[in-house]
Structure 1
Amino acid sequence: MTSHYFNPDPDTPHKTATIDLVLPDLHLTLTTDRGVFSPDRIDLGTRILLETAPPPPQHGTLLDIGCGYGPIALTMAKRAPDATVLGLDVNNRALALARTNATAHALTNTRFRHITPDATPTPDQEPDTPQLLTGPFAAIWSNPPIRVGKPILHTLLRTWLGRLAPGAHAHLVVHKNLGADSLQRWLDTNNHPATRIATRAGYRILRTTNNT
């Protein structure tokens, strides 16, 4: 049996591999496995987000919603070594890989936390992550898990976007064929007005700001 990448404990047989994330300013070799999101290559949407988003804040807590094996969270950690980066995911296999990849690159400013599909954090062995979860977050970068369905996706975004620091930005990447435009309309009508800052290969980069 195979599992979706948003299953907490995928039963897909393991087959680990390594892939390279090469950006103009960094090169990370990442361990991946079956049963996680985009295990064979860096997802194009993720790459476009990492090539498009402005530099992250250099201090505070930065958040990656749906971190998978870590390409977004680890890029933020590399670009903002004095910040703390929190990665959240429902998939325990992906979280284990993210921790492995952070250790491999000596990115000690990262924390990874399991959440349930309804966005509720679960107990974790990292002692300082409970305090990090409440925010406020200095930035959010995310390739959100669109395929979980709108109710769960909207709960995730409503929960975590609401914890942005005043004036802070979230950058989300979504393909137009997976509902980028409808998601932008939803954000606009749910107290998170969004601006499309880039379009490439069918992907939209949406930016929303906490203006409270």
Structure 2
Amino acid sequence: MTEQHQHYFTADPDAVSDPRLLTVELPDLTLKLTTDAGVFSPKQLDPGTRVLLENAPAPTADGDLLDVGCGYGPIALTLAKRYPDRRITGVDVNTRALELARANAKAAGVGTITFHLPEEVPADKRFAAIYSNPPIRVGKQALHDLLLHWLARLLPDGIAYLVVQKNLGSDSLAKWLTEQGHATERIANAKGYRVLAAKPRA
């Protein structure tokens, strides 16, 4: 397992700091983000994250947005640029990633995002949409627990958009989510990744 996968979902990564500036080019915007060792995909925008950002639709319900596993902030910052009237929450267990995300939001002049450890999000907080490249490699049980926890935070008319690599179980995950009461469908398929749309439990 690479150093990246050893550390990006740990609370306090011990990888030697190696900050770098990353330019992210999307069809509608450009982001300049500082990354570092010990966080997810520090050398380039993860291909799955790119597929999500290029294919997930705009939120349809009114309310705040959530980025689960925010890393250094590419999803949350893209949402902030696209939907400036929305408040956005980013959550991650990796404290180094959260520090980077906060710095990146400040550098971009974005004041509509807050980044937190998962336990810092108020229990009664609800979201109109979730956008996430979830940490598949954390293990199946931990992944399932994480997804059920945050999908329960959707508003009744909200929706979660998740990107999962096909060969890492996207189709079986969609089936499992549906079995848990979160009706899930594939809405995009690109570069070996699926974008899934999961609804709240009825």
Q: TM-score, normalised by structure 1?
A: 0.89
Distance in structure 2 (CA, Å) of the matches to 1:22 and 1:57: 25
Question: Which residue does 2:19 correspond to in 1?
Answer: 16
CA contact 2:89–2:113 (8 Å) conserved in 1: yes
Question: Which residue does 1:175 correspond to in 2?
Answer: 165
The yes-or-no answer on 1:159 pairing with 2:149 is yes
The yes-or-no answer on 1:108 pairing with 2:108 is no
CA contact 2:61–2:158 (8 Å) conserved in 1: no
Distance in structure 2 (CA, Å) of the matches to 1:24 and 1:201: 16
Please tell me the residue identity of whatever aligns with 1:153: L
Question: Which residue does 1:146 correspond to in 2?
Answer: 136
The yes-or-no answer on 1:55 pairing with 2:65 is no
Please tell me the residue identity of whatever aligns with 1:53: A
Alpha-carbon offset, residue 57 of structure 1: 5.1
Distance in structure 2 (CA, Å) of the matches to 1:96 and 1:47: 22
SS at match of 2:10: coil
CA contact 1:22–1:28 (8 Å) conserved in 2: yes
- Flag as ranges the 4+ runs of structure 1 deviating above 2 A: 56-59
Consecutive unaligned residues in structure 2, runs of 5 or more = none
CA contact 2:61–2:129 (8 Å) conserved in 1: no
What is the count of residue pairs matched by the alignment?
Answer: 198
Match of 1:64 among 54, 57, 67: 67
Alpha-carbon offset, residue 22 of structure 1: 1.2
Please tell me the residue identity of whatever aligns with 1:188: T
Q: RMSD of the alignment, in Å? A: 1.4
Spell out the pairing of 1:35-50 with structure 2 (5 A cutoff): 35-50=38-53
Match of 1:83 among 64, 81, 86: 86
CA contact 1:141–1:170 (8 Å) conserved in 2: yes
Distance in structure 1 (CA, Å) of the matches to 2:62 and 2:155: 12
Spell out the pairing of 1:24-43 with structure 2 (5 A cutoff): 24-43=27-46
Distance in structure 1 (CA, Å) of the matches to 2:43 and 2:16: 15
Q: Percent identity?
A: 54
CA contact 2:21–2:33 (8 Å) conserved in 1: yes
Consecutive unaligned residues in structure 1, runs of 5 or more = 116-120, 123-128
